[in-house]
Amino acid sequence: MELASDFKEFLQKIRPTPSQREDLQTGHKTLRERLNADEDLKKCIISDFLQGSYKRSTAIRPKGERRSDVDIVVVTKLSEDEHRPADAMDLFKPFLNKHYNGKWRQQGRSFGIELSYVELDLVLTSAPSEAEVGILESDAIMSDDDLEEAEDWRLNRSWVALGSRYRSDARTLLVEAKNEPEWKSRPLRIPDRDANKWESTHPLAQLTWTRDKNDNTNKHFVNVVKAIKWWRVEKYEEPKHPKGFPLERIIGECCSDGIGSVAEGVVKTMEKIVSQYSLTVLAGGKPNLPDYGVATHDVFKRISADDFKKFYDQVKVGAELARRAFDSQDRTESGNLWCELFGSKFPKPPEKNGGGGGAGGSGRGGYTPPTGPAVPGNGRFA
């Protein structure tokens, strides 16, 4: 059964809580305000924007003692010809020492900032072309709205952020945004300190691809991603990879368009992973999955064949269990099987099979047909 209302409750339980979202917003807004107020850095900053699962609406609630995290991209005026990756990153260290002393660490291509309530990942880019500067300063790029909040998001100059729709010209601009072609964005370049070179990345392509995929799956894709991410962290501590965007990428590769529910999406995605990569695993290999917008970047590059084999075997077990849950016509049995797959965050079904919900399974408690006429006073309708 699809058990739509149970899945709705489950998804609410695995999304970041309102307080966690507030922590994320406090963390990234404070960082961005400080960057743009810094006397040394603000001269070389063009814009800043959010990327990652928080922006794409595919983030799940951190499990255990882990904190929520958010990625911030800072677009700079720094020329690759004049700044080596290490030099560019060094420019940000005085700022980090001033505001986050003892709380930041250098990573290969970014800075990690660990606060008591949130983790921030700060990524800087080299200078874009002059033609791209305007759109990089627009609401479409700099808005904090995620894909679930802003279902009408468009990558063009006319789109207006949710918080600015009080403007008198907002309605006119949104009509223009709907009909105006989207910006053909180019990859941004980020510093790889370890490799001593600038590398391409395309967070905007990841965002537009996810939006389009979500539209093509009746708005279920981002929830399928969240559900499968939760299955991974709930059921398996090892292997650690794939997780994050690589996991999201393989889900995107295997999730069918036109799905009618999250349940259907979970079943079909897991089964597609099993069927599509059986020969790859048999040959001792792993997938090559190019990043959206950067075909030369394999997002599975750092995942070992052994880890992928372990992940594949886990998906195979999960796919069989999900199929049994989806095909079951018994309300209680189906609910118990989904609970077995996803853990305690999935609502427990009623003890007795109500027989209701049918193929759609939208009810929590189902419907029990009467066995005879109601007798006043017997408590049936009390």
Lowest mean pLDDT among 46-55, 265-274, 279-288, 348-357: 348-357
Q: What is the 3-state secondary structure (H, E, C) of 296-334?
A: EEECCCCCCHHHHHHHHHHHHHHHHHHHHHHHCCCHHHH
Distance from C-alpha of 193 to C-alpha of 196, rounded to nearest angstrom: 5
Question: What is the pLDDT averaged over residues 205-216?
Answer: 98
**pLDDT at position 162:** 97
Question: What is the pLDDT averaged over residues 363-382?
Answer: 39
Residues 84-127: pLDDT tens digits? Answer: 999 999 999 999 999 999 999 999 899 999 999 999 999 999 99
Question: What is the pLDDT averaged over residues 241-249?
Answer: 96
Residues 134-183: pLDDT tens digits? Answer: 899 999 999 999 999 999 999 999 999 999 999 999 999 999 999 999 99
Residues 342-356: pLDDT tens digits? Answer: 999 999 999 875 444
Distance from C-alpha of 29 to C-alpha of 160, rounded to nearest angstrom: 19
Judged against a pLDDT cut of 90, whether residue 364 lies above it is answered with no
Distance from C-alpha of 195 to C-alpha of 95, rounded to nearest angstrom: 24
**pLDDT at position 65:** 74
Confidence of residue 63 (pLDDT cuts 50, 70, 90): confident
The token duo for 71 is 């990625």
Q: Which residues are catalytic?
A: 69, 71, 121
Distance from C-alpha of 151 to C-alpha of 160, rounded to nearest angstrom: 12
Distance from C-alpha of 147 to C-alpha of 204, rounded to nearest angstrom: 12
**pLDDT at position 246:** 97
CA distances from 110 to 92, 106, 193 (A): 11, 7, 9
Judged against a pLDDT cut of 50, whether residue 280 lies above it is answered with yes
User: Helix 331-342 crosses helix 305-327 at what angle (to 10 degrees)?
Assistant: 160
% of the chain surpassing 70 pLDDT: 92
